[in-house]
Amino acid sequence: MKRSTKFVAAAVAALVAASAAQAEVTIGYLGALTGAQADMTGEAALHATRMAIADFGGEVNGEPIEVLVADHAGKPDLGLATAREWVDAEGVNLILNVDNSAVALAVSDLIKDKNVTMAMGASSSRLINESCGPHQIMLLLDNGTLARAVTLPQLEAGAKDWYFITVDYALGHDLEAQATKAIEANGGTVKGSVVHSPQATDFSSFLLQAQSSGATNIALATFGAWQNAIAKQAQEFGVQQSLSPFYLADTDIKSAGLDTLQNVTGTIQFYWDENDATRAFSDRFREDFGRPPTFTNAYHYEFTTHYLKAIEATGGTDADAIQAWMRDNPMALINGDTATIREDGAVVRDVLSYRTKTLAESTGDWDFLEITGKVDGESIAQPLADSACPLVASN
């Protein structure tokens, strides 16, 4: 009897403590902390988020900022359950990262009529079209924008003939379809495509087909370990066409080795060695984390800062007011540019086009990219007139 009263007392005390500790602003970091993407984003983007909070002074409007962390492991059921608990029981204000389209789509349904903002690193174009929401923001380029960002500079430079190696996932097929549309709309042709299964390890026959197709570029609508394997095997076969990856982060080059990914062209949202401002930020980041920030790490810093500014300016945590402020005011980027958030949730920003350096050109272990130009954000974003998002005024 005595023990049970003690237990009840302890439980009540714990509850009281939990409710007292509830900060005014709670950020739930829901990311892939394990698995293929974890290296690029995972703990690193969490570090960037914490950096942004620390740079902001650790509190907003006199209240501490709390960060909750959970792994969605790429599973929409797990991600949705975590997000639901955060919203119901922890009073979370911002769900951040969400770097998986399936998870983002599930959470998008959940927060539609709730006082919660979601800023996601997912790629599905549905999230800024049919499944857009009043409180959701797309930090990553969606598939359509990414496809245009990668192909348009190449098409302008005269690379007109393309061949696709596509992973047999919804992501791969969507990327290929979007890129094909962009290529054909801008005077290019698609010479052919081949689908590889997620179990594939040998890409030689695909590469030989690509080689004999007469294409100038081989687009890699795939990522991670497959992409590294394709790059490696392309080099072994002496494939002359240039590879055009869609998802290539500094961490991928690091793990595959620059020797296998030399002279690859693409576009990226942020590169640590772009200018003095990015180098200064990267030095600070590297001091604590041991490597320069990737583009996903950078946008976590940029967005978290923008979000905290919105809370400060609106003086509260009302998601509608914060959303309105964030859209009305330009988001400051680390490299000195600004970005804007549209009503469909897309972030319009200029992106960098790059060529990976050769071994001879590279000076150090993270010196991978030569920035060759800037692509105007408006030119690659999905025109609002084409948007299927019900929130867009013209619809």
Partner 1 sequence: MTLADMKQMTPSHPMAETALHPLGFSRARFILFVVTALAVVIAPFVLYPIFLMKIYCFIIFAVAYNLLLGYTGLMSFGHAAFWGMGAYLTAYSAANWGFGFEAALLTGTVTGAALGLIFGLVAIRRTGLYFAMITLALAQMVYFICLQSPFTGGEDGVQGVPRGSLLGLVDLNNDWNLYWLVGTILLGTIILSNRVVHSPFGQVLRAIRNNPARAKSLGYNVDRYKLCAFVMSAALAGFAGGLKAIIFQIATLTDVSTVASTEAVLITLVGGIGTIFGPAVGSIIVLSLEHYLAPFGPWVMFTQGVVFVFFVLVFRKGLLGEFQSYFKTSL
Cβ atoms of 153 and 183 closer than 8 Å? no
Q: Which long-range contacts (CB under 8 A, 24 or more apart) does 331-336 make?
A: 331/302, 331/303, 331/306, 332/302, 332/305, 332/306, 333/270, 333/302, 334/270, 334/277, 334/278, 334/281, 334/298, 334/301, 334/302, 335/270, 335/274, 335/275, 335/277, 335/278, 336/275, 336/277
Smallest gap from residue 85 Cβ to partner 1 (A): 6
Q: Which is nearer to partner 1, 168 or 273 (CB)?
A: 168
From candidates 6, 9, 13, 15, binder to partner 1 by CB under 8 A: 15
Q: Does 34 sit near partner 1 (CB under 8 A)?
A: yes
Written as one letter, the residue type at 148 is R
Name the one range near partner 1 by CB under 8 A: 69-77, 159-167, 206-214, 233-241.
69-77
Does position 101 interact with partner 1 (CB under 8 A)? The reply is: yes
CA 298, distance to chain mean position in Å, is 10
Taking Cα atoms as reference points, which of 115, 11, 14 lies closest to residue 323? 115
Nearer to partner 1, 37 or 282 (CB): 37
Residue span binding partner 1 (CB under 8 A) among the ranges 97-105, 154-162, 236-244, 287-295: 97-105
Identify which of residues 170 and 277 has a Cβ nearer to partner 1 in the complex.
170
CA dist 85 and 350 (Å) reads 36
Residue 84 interacting with partner 1 (CB under 8 A): yes
11 binds partner 1 (CB under 8 A): yes
Of 39-68, which residues contact partner 1 (CB under 8 A)?
A: 68
| φ/ψ of residue 162, rounded to 5 | -120, 150
Question: With respect to partner 1, which residue has the nearer C-beta, 131 or 323?
Answer: 131
Nearest to 125 by CA among 63, 186, 178: 178
CB of 77 to partner 1, least distance (A): 5
Residue 127 near partner 1 by CB under 8 A? no
Q: Are 215 and 154 in contact (CB under 8 A)?
A: no
CB nearer to partner 1: give 15 or 225. Answer: 15
The answer to whether 85 contacts partner 1 (rule: CB under 8 A) is yes
The least CB distance from residue 30 to partner 1, in Å, is 11
Distance between CA atoms of residues 278 and 134, nearest Å = 31
Site mask, partner 1, residues 157-196, x = CB under 8 A?
Answer: ------------xx--------------------------
Does 82 interact with partner 1 (rule: CB under 8 A)?
Answer: yes
Query: Which is nearer to partner 1, 41 or 216 (by Cβ)?
Result: 41
- Tell me whether residue 109 or residue 378 sits nearer to partner 1 (CB atom): 109
CA distance 147 to 180: 8
Nearer to partner 1, 134 or 373 (CB): 134
Q: Which of 383, 339, 381 is nearest to 146 (CA)?
A: 381
The minimum distance between CB 11 and partner 1, in angstroms, equals: 6
Minimum CB–partner distance for residue 195 and partner 1 (Å)? 13
Q: Are 41 and 31 in contact (CB under 8 A)?
A: yes
Q: What is the largest CA-CA distance in the chain?
A: 83
In this structure, the number of other CB atoms found within 10 A of the CB of residue 197 comes to: 10
Contacting residues toward partner 1, per CB under 8 A = 11, 15, 33-34, 68-71, 75-78, 80-82, 84-85, 88-89, 101-102, 105-106, 109, 169-170
